[in-house]
Amino acid sequence: MRRRCTWRIFQSIEYACEQDQIKLHNFFSYLMDNFTPSSSKERDFISRMFISGESFKEAELEKYCDYESLEVPDSYTGPRLSFPLLPDHATALLEAFKQKQQLHARYVLNLLHETRKHLKQLPNISHVSTCYSEEVTVCGDLHGQLDDLFLIFYKNGLPSPSKSYVFNGDFVDRGKQSLEILIILFTFLLIYPKEVHLNRGNHEDHMVNLRYGFTKEVMQKYKLHGKKILKMIQNVFCWLPLATLIDQKVLVIHGGISDTTDLDMLEKIQRNKFISVLRGKKRKESNRNVEIKEINGESQAEPDSAGNETMPSLPSQPRPAKAPSMANRVEFSRWVRQTVQEQIEWCRKLVDISDSEEEELTCSSLVSLTDLDGPCWTRQEEWKQILDILWSDPMPQEGCRENTVRGGGCYFGPDVTGKILEKYNLQFLIRSHECKHEGYEFCHNRKVLTIFSASNYYEIGSNRGAYVKLGPDLVPHFVQYQANKTAHTLTMTQRQGFYASLFSACFRISRVEESAFRALREKLFAHTSALISAFKVYDKDNTGRITLSNWATAVESVLRLGLPWRMLRPQLVRSTADGMLEYKSWLDDLAMEQRSQEHIQSSLLEVIYRNRSNLETIFRIIDRDHSGLISFEEFHQTWKLFSSHMNIELTDDGINDLVRSIDFNKDGNIDFNEFLEAFRLVKQSQ
């Protein structure tokens, strides 16, 4: 039971963070659709939010990421690559990474260039057969944990003509060696293109990478050429296949399915359009409704003239010409094309986006004689197909509903699984996306298998990693592991301690539990103000005391983590003889644990603590050159936007005071890493 509670703490906090990520980028999408800048500075600021996701045309990308212009010095002692790659190159890379060596930027860019060329030739759904090899090995999330990949290869063997692998997404983020994992996987992909298959995961997304560490990792390892490497990786990610079919009977996808999952549509989607799945909804259905209203002769609201008066340099929104009769389909089609193109150009000019990425018009926007006879999918429908397979999770209940815990994708029940299996004549699904204590887990009457390959994911000893092998009979065979001996020893100690706890009330909290409760106390501190308001509901007489039962109810009403607070209470609240809690004193104790600088206003520290991931994500988007520095003015704009998103009241004077307290070296720039460390907002690396 204790282990289960610890697990729920880790998972609830992880999913709450992902939900914040979705909310933040929904806010960015809202800005893109509705925000009218009042000055050129605001326009430039908002433009920076979105310009980083812009894709290059083919020739521009080749020129920008020109690896041939980079010289490898004679002093370089790391591995060297030449193309086409050979097995010896892969072996050299493995040995070099074990010795903590780094691949030169020229070879990294060259590898990414060749990988992109190969991926562009692949279908959206890869097809694998056990007829050509004795078995197929499927690996789940690795999340930058290179030791796990080394252990998989040690136990199972390297990819080869007789050893096929499917790596099911989420290669990057969280761990510290994501780039090395990508380099190894891409190398084997090019050496054995028929035996190595890579699926896209929800973390193969540059907007997610801004939050969960991969962007920072690349820039730290390649300070001079990191930006080029990131741009190339971003373009490689959008070309990764979306799924893999083994013997036409086993579907391998990263997240899951929904009641609208359509494999026929997935096979035909132009997958590279979705550079970031979080930013896929560029044209909303409401836009389509406006067009329909105008076609029917209904009036549309006049554009706001105030914006043009405030900022004369902004282009005025074009009014579409009067729609011709739908009886003349050719004229009607021409009118729709012209109208939509005018609106797109206006939006580009509004946020100062260059024409290097041409917006692809959707079927809902373009009407032609051929479209009327064939399948017509909107960009929204295509986006949802990809979002669902990358972000969804199974649930034990019947049906399909929105995944409010993660904030993206859906929860799908056994009935949804059954319908998909029957429709496409499949035996079962393999997915990843969720950490499992044993590294794998069956659900839906063994028709859905979750496989997770990153061991010690939350903390050393928290979970095993696993991979699954399928032979021609398609019977799953599992191999479990933990990436180091320390973790294995610790896990055995914890198990012994767990059984001893059944007979002793003096059970010592394990390291895993300590880590979980530390994270939970940080979460509680970050919501101090909301907790006080919730406690006061039960403290009618303003005594400063509430019952422990009311404490549990109030905490859940604020954090909404779905945790068994009454069971967790002994580790969070000191026991009292009368069963009452002095909640202000308890919150003061939480604050003392988190606060490292007494001169910082407590309420401001709480705000920063609660929203640190959102703030860092916005910061890294604004920091276009990934230098880790932004100017005072940019920092000021960041806080204004951030406070608008989070509904926080913060005065200009308050922001200026914060800036002055952070700029330790008085160079006129903000170093965000120092900023986070100053408030203990990031854990020190051990």
Percent of the chain with pLDDT strictly greater than 90? 42
Whether residue 84 has a cis bond before it, omega within 30° of 0: yes
Q: Higher pLDDT residue, 684 or 90?
A: 90
Same structural domain, 387 and 509? no
Specify whether 203 is catalytic. yes
Choosing from 545, 575, 596, the residue where a domain stops is 596
Mean predicted confidence (pLDDT) in 317-336: 54
Same structural domain, 470 and 527? no
In a domain, 335, yes or no: no
Q: pTM of the entire structure?
A: 0.70
Instruction: Say what the pLDDT of residue 61 is.
Output: 79
User: Are 313 and 337 spatial neighbours (Cβ–Cβ below 8 Å)?
Assistant: no
Same structural domain, 391 and 530? no
In a domain, 354, yes or no: no
Choosing from 565, 596, 627, the residue where a domain stops is 596
Whether residue 617 has pLDDT greater than 60: yes
In a domain, 242, yes or no: yes
Instruction: Say what the pLDDT of residue 465 is.
Output: 97
Between strands 250-252 and 428-431, the pairing is parallel
Could you tell me the CATH number of the domain that includes residue 579? 1.10.238.10
Same structural domain, 208 and 99? yes
Same structural domain, 238 and 272? yes
Mean predicted confidence (pLDDT) in 351-379: 42
Q: Where are the alpha helices (DSSP H) in 198-278?
A: 206-212, 214-221, 226-237, 263-268
Mean predicted confidence (pLDDT) in 469-486: 89
Instruction: Say what the pLDDT of residue 576 is.
Output: 73
Instruction: Say what the pLDDT of residue 75 is.
Output: 95
Report the number of distinct structural domains present in the chain. Answer: 3
pLDDT in tens, 140-167: 999 999 999 999 999 999 999 999 999 9
Which one of the listed residues 203, 444, 527, 645 is annotated catalytic?
A: 203
Question: What residues make up the domain containing 506?
Answer: 499-596
Same structural domain, 566 and 527? yes
Could you tell me the CATH number of the domain that includes residue 264? 3.60.21.10
Same structural domain, 402 and 542? no
Helix (H) or strand (E) holding 429, with range, is strand 428-431
pLDDT in tens, 235-269: 999 999 999 999 999 999 999 999 999 999 999 99
Q: Higher pLDDT residue, 197 or 348?
A: 197
> Cα 27 to the chain's mean position, in Å?
16
Q: 602-610 and 612-622 are packed helices; what angle lies between their axes, rounded to 10 degrees?
A: 70
Lowest model confidence (mean pLDDT) among 46-55, 186-195, 511-520:
46-55
Whether residue 403 has pLDDT greater than 80: yes
Q: Which residues of 468-506 are buried (b: 16+ CB within 10 A; e: fewer)?
A: bbbeeeeebeebebbbeeebbebbeebeeeeeebeeeee
Measured in degrees and rounded to the nearest 5, phi and psi for residue 467 equal -135, 165
Task: Give residues with Cβ within 8 angstroms of 588, minimum separation 6.
Answer: none
Instruction: Say what the pLDDT of residue 323 is.
Output: 53
Indicate the average pLDDT of the chain: 76
Instruction: Say what the pLDDT of residue 317 is.
Output: 46
Choosing from 579, 596, 613, the residue where a domain stops is 596
Whether residue 312 has pLDDT greater than 50: no
Same structural domain, 647 and 534? no
Place of tokens 């913060």: 650
In a domain, 10, yes or no: no
Q: Higher pLDDT residue, 381 or 634?
A: 381
Lowest model confidence (mean pLDDT) among 178-182, 507-511, 680-684:
680-684
Whether residue 618 has pLDDT greater than 90: no
In a domain, 228, yes or no: yes
In a domain, 31, yes or no: no
Mean predicted confidence (pLDDT) in 456-483: 93
In a domain, 36, yes or no: no
Secondary structure (3-state) at 582 = strand
Same structural domain, 141 and 188? yes
Same structural domain, 79 and 221? yes
Residue type, 196: V
Whether residue 325 has pLDDT greater than 80: no
Same structural domain, 477 and 506? no
Confidence of residue 289 (pLDDT cuts 50, 70, 90): very low
Whether residue 12 has pLDDT greater than 60: yes
| Token duo for residue 502 | 């059944």
- Going through 472-523 in order, the beta strands assigned E by DSSP cover 476-481
pLDDT in tens, 651-668: 777 667 666 666 655 666
Whether residue 83 has pLDDT greater than 50: yes
Q: How far is CA 319 from CA 270, 301, 306, 336, in A?
A: 31, 11, 17, 13
List of long-range contacts for 215-223, beta carbons under 8 Å, 24+ apart:
215/620, 215/626, 216/620, 217/144, 217/176, 217/178, 217/179, 218/179, 219/626, 219/628, 221/102, 221/179, 222/105, 222/108
How far apart are alpha carbons 322 and 266 in whole angstroms?
37
Whether residue 367 has pLDDT greater than 70: no
Whether residue 324 has pLDDT greater than 60: no
* Closest to 364 in 3D by CA, of 273, 447, 278, 287: 287
Place of tokens 């009241």: 649
Same structural domain, 98 and 194? yes
In a domain, 674, yes or no: yes
Instruction: Say what the pLDDT of residue 450 is.
Output: 98
Q: Where are the alpha helices (DSSP H) in 256-378?
A: 263-268, 285-295, 305-310, 329-351, 369-373
Q: Higher pLDDT residue, 489 or 397?
A: 397
